[in-house]
Amino acid sequence: MRDDTDSVRFLSGRDTRESGPWIERELAAGIRTQGGMLVSAGVIPTPAVAYLTPRMGYTAGVVVSASHNPFEDNGIKVFSGTGAKFTETLEDQVEAIMADTSWTVEESSIDTANVEEIDYRSEYIAHLLRIFEPAGRYNGFPIAIDCANGATTTVAPGLFSRLGFDVRCVGCEPDGRNINLGCGSTSPELLASTVVGGGYRIGIAYDGDGDRAIFVDRNGHIVDGDAVMVMCAKQMKREGRLKGDAVVATVMSNIGLEIALRGDQIETIRCPVGDKYVMEEMIQRSLSLGGEQSGHIIFSDYLFTGDGLATSLNVLRTMAATRRQLDELASEMTRYPQVLLNLRVDRKVDLQSIPPVASVLASVESRLAGDGRLLVRYSGTEPLLRVMLEGQDEAQIRRWGEEILDAVRQHVGTAE
């Protein structure tokens, strides 16, 4: 990365101890500056780096992270000086610079052998506490958390204890290689059995780098990001904090979310799958809440990226304000059956341009009549047509999906 300014400061973090110092050396080697500084925040959640980068005056923030994947899939997440994730355009520009052999790196004043380490956890925790101040009424409230043997192990147990909760932590023994291994938000079964077996009121599972959270109610049932957005959106509207009376969700969020919010006059705005698309839509429309089923939820009042701990505190805040249990709040959203059908095709044509197929699509959408949803799209990586339907009767919507595939087979042809 090239920069000609006189003062460039980089903050780096990671989600496991196994990541090692190599990334600090590699990044520092790419800084062309007269007086730069590289600081390591150690093992710390990704959203902490996003929060700290602009507030501590860093030019960029970099995280070595496996996210929700196994440790061998470690990658790099980069945040700008504003704390926002790099856009695809900027990522492409950086990659082009790195691939460009026409320039060389000058000697840097940065001491890459002795990268300064600063413990910023207290600043990040102070930020989180502003979401939900410690309250005596929570003394003894039993909760279970699953830190996925990742970055939240350094923050979450202490945070919830400070808030007065009686905390049981699983997935809190990272060795650098067991991140997300049979635990965390992608494997909430361990947490569910812990919650039921221990009589906990709520369970919270994070992914390895802490930018998402999945919940478990007192009965061991999984509560995903769709249900979280419903309960938080309704409470935020009651508190006058839901900007635009709208929520951003991806095309994969269940129609039940849309229907549940509609009853409170809250609009659902759809965007492509990916937290960066959620963020972009929220920024464009000046909205305060958006997210994905996966538990990657963005509360823009606090940060323009997903933060599992911030999501947890907003859910607990909603429980406190309504004096209701998680299962009661989650029941406000009815999850509609979803059917996914794939058809291998030999060419990708606009189905609306073929009258018989367009007619079937219109007929199915008419039958869904606001109580269901149809999404027809081509795969971006495979020669597949994907048909997704949601509705009240699974057998019925499956038949309607097959009608669409039959029409495509008859009038477009397939690769089968």
Q: How far apart are alpha carbons 198 and 183 in whole angstroms?
A: 17
- Written as one string, the DSSP assignment of 107-165 is PPSS-TTS-EE---HHHHHHHHHTTS---GGGTTEEEEEE-TTSGGGGTHHHHHHHTTE
Cβ of 327: how many Cβ atoms within 10 Å? 17
Q: Which residues are catalytic?
A: 67
Comparing CA positions, the residue from 85, 48, 353 lying closest to residue 209 is: 48
Listed in sequence order, the residues at least 6 apart from 325 whose beta carbon sits closer than 8 Å to its beta carbon are 201, 217, 218, 319
Q: How far apart are alpha carbons 135 and 323 in whole angstroms?
A: 14
Cβ of 288: how many Cβ atoms within 10 Å? 20
Q: How far apart are alpha carbons 99 and 102 in whole angstroms?
A: 9
CA distances from 226 to 214, 247, 286, 333 (A): 10, 11, 20, 8
Rg over alpha carbons for the chain, rounded to the nearest Å, is: 23
Q: How far apart are alpha carbons 360 and 377 in whole angstroms?
A: 15
Torsion, Cα of 201, 178, 75, 77 (10° steps)? 30
